[in-house]
Structures are given as C-alpha cells and as structure tokens.
A and B are shown apart, each in its own frame.
Chain A
Amino acid sequence: MSAERAPGLLAGDSLNLRLARRSLGLIALCLVLLPFADLAITTHDPWAELGRMISGLLRPDILATQSLPHAIALTIGFALWGTLLGVVLGFPLALLFPRSRLLRGSCAFVRAIHELFWALLLLQVFGLSAVTAIAALTIPYAGIFAKVYAEILELTPRAPVDALPEGVGRFSRFVYAELPMVWARLSSYTRYRFECAMRSSVLLGFVGLPTLGFHLESAFREGRYAEAGALLWVFYLMIASLHLWGHRRLLPWVALGSLFLLGPWPDIDGALLWRFMSVDLWPKPLLDGDLAGLWQWFGEIPDLLPAIGNTLLLGLMGTAGSLVVALLLWPLACRHFGNRPTRMAGKGVLILMRSTPELMLAFIFLLMLGPSMLPAWLALSLHNGALIAFLVARHADAIVPGSHALPASARYTYELLPRLYGGLLALLFYRAETIIRETALLGMLGIATLGFHIDSSFAYLMFDQAFFLLLVTAGLNIAVDALARRYRPREIADTIGEHDRSTGEATC
C-alpha cells in the first residue's frame, strides 16, 4: 500500500488553495510592479499640522459652521431624492436589462463615471443647484439599480409562478408571484444604496454643492480644524444614526419636507443645454470635420498613456492593499474574537475608516509622508479594506463556532477563514471596479491619474478634453470590471446568490 504523499506548499486542488494561489498571484503582481510606483517618503515635520488636526477633532467647534442644519438637510435631501429617482428609473430598466445588450452597455457606462464627475459635468448646465446634485446621484444610481435589481430578479424562485393557474397575465404574475418573493432583498439593497448616497451627497460638497461636504472641505482645506472636526463628527453621527431616523415610515415625510429646502430651482435654459451637449463636449476639429486638426487636438491631451498607467497601477496596488488590510482587520469587529469592549472599539474604527472620505485620509497621509503615490495607496487600502473587513465580520458572525474551544489563531486560520475567504475575495473583486473609480478621484491630490487630468480640464474649461478623458476612464472601468469578473474564481461566481447582498454593498 503506497502512502499518500503530503502535498507541497500551496499544492492541491481544493477551492481555498486555488483562491490562495490566486490572491498571492495578485499580491505578487503588485510587488513586481511596485518599483514603477513613486513611493518616496519626503516629509520632515508633519507633527505641527497633525497636532492641530487632532486637537480640532478632539475639540470640535459645532457653532463655527454657518447654517449647519441647512447643510445637513440638503445632504439628506439630495441623497434621498437621488436614490428615489434612481429607483424610479432603474427599476424599469432592470426589467429590460437581461434583454438588451445596448442597455447593459449604457448602464455600465453611466456607472463607470464617478458621481463627482457627473456633478462637474452637470454643473456646467444647471449651476450649483439641486438639479445638479440630484441628477449627479440619480444617473449613476439608475445604472447601478438596473444591474443589481436585474441580478436579484433573476434569482426569483420559480415555484409560485409554476403554481399559478393558466392564463394569468404577465403583470399580475409579476406583482403577485415574483415581486413579493424578492421584495425584501430589493428593499434592503435600496436601503444600503441610500447609505452610499449619503456619503456621495457629502462628497458632492467637494465640488461646491452646498452639502455638509462643502463646509467640511473648506474648513479642512483652510486648516480650520475645529470646524472640520465638528463637521466630521456630525457626518459620522448621521451615518451611525441612520437606522434611527431612516425609518421606512419616516422617509417619505423627510423626502417631502426636504423638497421645500432644495430650491431655488434653476431656470433650465434649453439653448444652454443644447450648446453644452452639441458643442462644448466635442472637439472643435471634429465638429468642423477637420481630421488633421483632430489629430493635433489629440496631441494636446497631456500624457494620456502615463495617466492610464498610473490609474491602473494605483488601482492594482489599492486592490492588493485592501486585501491585506481586510485580512488583518476583520477579526476586530467579529464576535468570535476579543470581548465586548474590544469589539465595539473595533467596529468603531472600521466604521470611521470606511466613512471618512478617501480624499481626507489621503491628505492626512500626504502631510505625514509627503507627495507620492504612497498616501493615495494607503488611503485606498485602508478605506476599502475596512469596508470589506466590516462585511466579512458580519458574515463571520453568522457562523456558529465548533464545540471545542480553539485558541484565537487557530480559530482564525482553521475554523473561520476557510469559510469566509471565498466571500472575501468575491467582495474584493467586485470592489476592484470601485477602487479604479476612486483612483481617478485621488488625482485631485496631484497624483497624475486620469482623474487629475479630468479635474484640470474642467478647471481650464476645456470640456471637450474632459469629456474625452471621462470616456477613457469609463472604458477603463468597464474593462477592469470585465477582467475582475473573468478572474473571479468560478466557484464564487456560482454561489454568488448567497453573497449577493454584500457583493452589492461592495460596489458602493
């Protein structure tokens, strides 16, 4: 009888081993490409500024911000109406989603452009108004809802439909036997999207819409840290207390009430809109039919290839970093480790990290480490890693531990991680698309990603260039998403039904 030989390191054919090899591959690829990234640490003395920041956070000045209640109300109003209209548009689209390739493509496109960039585009036509803010949320959200709702609807159990008598019309069948079966999932996803919309609504302030983010960014940028600290606390509080005021029965009233605050509505000037869509967005040589001029126009776009390279590199680094952070942090908020106080603290830390806008994290690291890709990398990894860790911890909480008491390390490696790892990786691959989107955003810090150049083009009022770069960004996002989908281990894709709630969450 020949003895079975013990397998070598990471050899074997089990799912988890394959997942482990794939993740190590991702990290290895990241390490290989690391020399191309600019990671120098150049700061000498960040402590004075950091000290001011910390003291501001610890001694917030809640009264410093003028019309704070108004800003809060607008933040909520924009988020609520943006989500609501997103649902109104996205739901019918979800019904057509499986049938139309064109629709799927268009949805992927509107999703691929970050809310902030939508806002920058719409700003040119609707100015700093509620229309800009709400449409900037509604447009991408409609695309997201269409996709996620379609995925949920696809998983509707068939049994009730089969049980219906013959001759029931399509509509009656849908509202009686299909919709109720998935209603809970649809509404919980919508609810989660609303939380995302709250964060996005705050972010819209960064381009000047009068939400909480407007005051937060100004205060932070100008070093009024007591005010910034207060606003940050208000923001955390708003997110943390969402379950209290975001009650199903209360929200319609909040929505109606906020309508009165959203005005004044801009006069929509048709000519303006038309000029923007038909002239401003397109290269002049193209409109004139001047091909040679178009080539020259193309040449004036600064450093397109390095920008794409930087965006992809930062996206890859952010994804690998998030993986490591998530693996390290998830036990912090999980009931199988530590005691009640440590868990509370752990959860708090994770919520803080995932709620703090990446731009701020990046700026703090920029102060500490100096300008390079490093601050952006850390900010992306921490923010996204914490978000994934939070969701993984929730999955872990649902696992009933075995009867014998294992030491914590064994519990982590033998009991829990093997069951969670597939889900964790699925979340990460879903998140990859979002990370790419966010790298574009961090361009605003001076890291020359696509987002940096988009921001510049908007600043120089070269909308044709901005639009072109947005198209490139969207194409890149769609490509990365397709790639992530392909390399997501098949077994996970097959069991995605179980994870769909949290994978949906990962795309926030």
Chain B
Amino acid sequence: MSVEELVRFDGEALGHARHTVLADLTLELRAGERVALLGPSGVGKSTLLAALRRRLGQRAAWCPQEHGLVPPLSVYHNIYMGRLERHSALANLVNLLRPRRDAWRDIQALCRELGLEGLLKRPVAQLSGGQRQRVAIARTLYQAREVFLGDEPVASIDPHQARRLLNMIQRQHATCVIALHQRELALTHFDRVWGLRDGQLILDAPARELTLEDLDTLYPDAHSPDASPEPA
C-alpha cells in the first residue's frame, strides 16, 4: 500500500525576506503521520510550520503559538472563526448578533470535551491562560481539516491535560505536525520526530527508535544533568 505524500521539501531554504532561518531543508510529510517538532526556541519551528501551512492550504488547520484569539469576543465566536470561510459575509454578521443554532450546538459539544463548558458566552479576555489555550485548540479542531498544524498548542498546560488534549487532536486528525517542548510527549504520542538545531534539520526519525537522550542532543545546554530543555 503506497502512502500519500502531502508535502515534500527538497533542499530548500526557508526564511523571511533577507534572512534564511532554515537552510537546505529536505523532508517529507506523509498522510497518517503524527509528527512532533522539537528544537530550542528561535530555531525555526514556526518558520517550518508556516511553510507547511502555505503548502497545505485548505487541507491544514492551524493553531498559532500566541493563540491569535480576539479577546473582546466570546468563546463561542472565537471558536466559530474556525469556519468563518464556510459562511457568507451576511451569515457571519448575523451570527455576531445572534449565534447560529447548529454552530452553537457543535461548539457546545466541543467545549464540553475540552473542559470549557459554561464559558461559551464569556469574552476570551476574562479567561485564564490555560483556558485560552484550550479555546485556541477548540477553534483549530472546529476547522475540521485533514492535517493539524500546531505551534506549541499544549505549552502552558499541565502534563495530564496535555496528554488528554493531544489524544483529542489525534483522534480527529490522522496527520499532524505539532511543535512541542515536552520531550516525553514526543516519544509517547507521536510516530515521528523532527529535530531542529542551528538552522538545520538534524533529526528525522521514527519515535519508537528514539530515546530521551537522543532528543537531548537538540538542546545546546543539555549536557548539564538537570538542565531543563527549554523554558515554557
């Protein structure tokens, strides 16, 4: 059985207008693969995710690092934004004033699963950091796309919760690429690990072949025994 190849980079350089962040990048993303993206902050994880997002277009659901939520709007409306492009401008406008029945029902169910029940009407500005992160995830899930792209979507969430959320994400999305800093989760919840360091992809291997020590090599200060790999 051949596996569909979703994206392929072949010795490409990624970066901004004048500044190359990732040089000579070669990798491929196949359908059905759950990929953890690791590396110290500033190494280019976001750049890589943005490039994947561009390539995948309508097939990817995107959960950005800073959430990109609209604090004055309610939880419901923030999550609804995941499907903004599927309704007409007028329908969207009316929905601002009076929520759509069907959307409300779906989002309510989604929120129940994410532990956000009873908060639908509350402005995001009034939520805690962890709650906001879950709203951002909910919005991405609500997009219901083929591939989940997440930039640290479980960064400020306790390990137990993080596991639960990753399970939820992966239940809905056979394919995902998620930037993480919790190395343990990379090994337990993913099929494959991409490791970035010094502007290079230095690790691209199945998760089951890797140990925590292998992952430590990605972080410059990992030689000190009790170094935390990266601040949250």
Contact = CB atoms under 8 A, between A and B. Distances in A.
Contact between A and B in the complex (any CB pair below 8 Å): yes
Interface of A: 159-169, 171-173, 175-177, 180-181, 183-184
Contact of B67 (A163, A164, A171, A181): A163
10 contacts: A160-B81, A163-B69, A165-B81, A165-B82, A166-B85, A169-B85, A173-B84, A175-B93, A176-B92, A180-B72
A138 B71 CA distance: 32
A177 B62 contact: no
Given A172-B92, A175-B96, A176-B77, A167 B68 contact: no
B83 A176 contact: no
Contacts of A180: 70, 72-73
Contacts of B139: 163
B83 A171 contact: no
B66 A159 contact: yes
Contacts of B175: none
Contact of B81 (A169, A177, A181): A177
A171 B87 CA distance: 12
Contacts of B89: 169, 171-172
A167 B82 CA distance: 11
A183 B68 contact: no
Interface string B86-109: 010100110010000000000000
Contacts of A160: 68-70, 81
B26 interface: no
Contact of B85 (A163, A165, A175): A165
Contacts of A162: 64, 68
Given A159-B64, A176-B77, A176-B96, A165 B84 contact: yes
B133 interface: no
Contacts of A171: 89, 92-93
B72 A167 contact: no
Given A169-B89, A175-B93, A180-B70, A163 B84 contact: no
A160 B80 CA distance: 13
Nearest to A172: B92
A163 B92 contact: no
Given A176-B92, A184-B72, A168 B66 contact: no
A168 B70 contact: no
B232 to A, nearest CB: 19
Contacts of A166: 57-58, 85
Nearest to A173: B84
B181 to A, nearest CB: 20
B22 interface: no
A391 to B, nearest CB: 25
A162 B50 CA distance: 10
Interface in B40-81: 57-58, 61-62, 64, 66-73, 77, 81
A175 B70 CA distance: 11
A156 B80 CA distance: 21
Nearest to B72: A180
A168 B85 CA distance: 4
A165 B143 CA distance: 8
A169 B92 CA distance: 10
Contacts of A168: 84-85
B12 to A, nearest CB: 21
Nearest to B59: A166
B73 A176 contact: yes
Given A159-B66, A176-B96, 6 more contacts: A160-B69, A162-B68, A165-B81, A176-B73, A176-B77, A181-B72
A160 B89 CA distance: 18
Contacts of B58: 165-167
Contacts of B72: 180-181, 183-184
Contacts of A165: 58, 61-62, 81-85, 143, 145
Interface centre among A160, A161, A169 (most CB of B within 10 A): A160
A183 B87 CA distance: 23
Contacts of A164: 68, 81, 84-85
A196 B93 CA distance: 32
A177 B70 contact: yes
A159 B73 CA distance: 15
A207 to B, nearest CB: 41
B62 A163 contact: yes
B64 A175 contact: no
A176 B71 CA distance: 11
B132 to A, nearest CB: 12
Contacts of A183: 72
Nearest to A171: B89
B70 A181 contact: yes
A162 B143 CA distance: 15
A165 B83 CA distance: 7
Find the residue from A163, A167, A175 having the highest chain B CB count within 10 A.
Answer: A163
Closest 8 CB pairs of A and B: A163-B68, A167-B85, A171-B89, A159-B68, A172-B92, A180-B72, A168-B85, A168-B84
Contacts of A176: 70, 73, 77, 81, 84, 92, 96
In this complex, the member of A171, A172, A173, A180 whose beta carbon has the largest number of chain B beta carbons within 10 angstroms is: A172
Contacts of A159: 64, 66-68
A278 B20 CA distance: 62
Nearest to A163: B68
A124 B68 CA distance: 53
Contacts of B62: 163, 165
B69 to A, nearest CB: 7
A417 B86 CA distance: 54
A175 B66 contact: no
Nearest to B80: A176
A96 B61 CA distance: 32
A14 to B, nearest CB: 32
A169 B87 CA distance: 9
Given A159-B68, A163-B67, A181-B70, A175 B92 contact: yes
B93 to A, nearest CB: 6
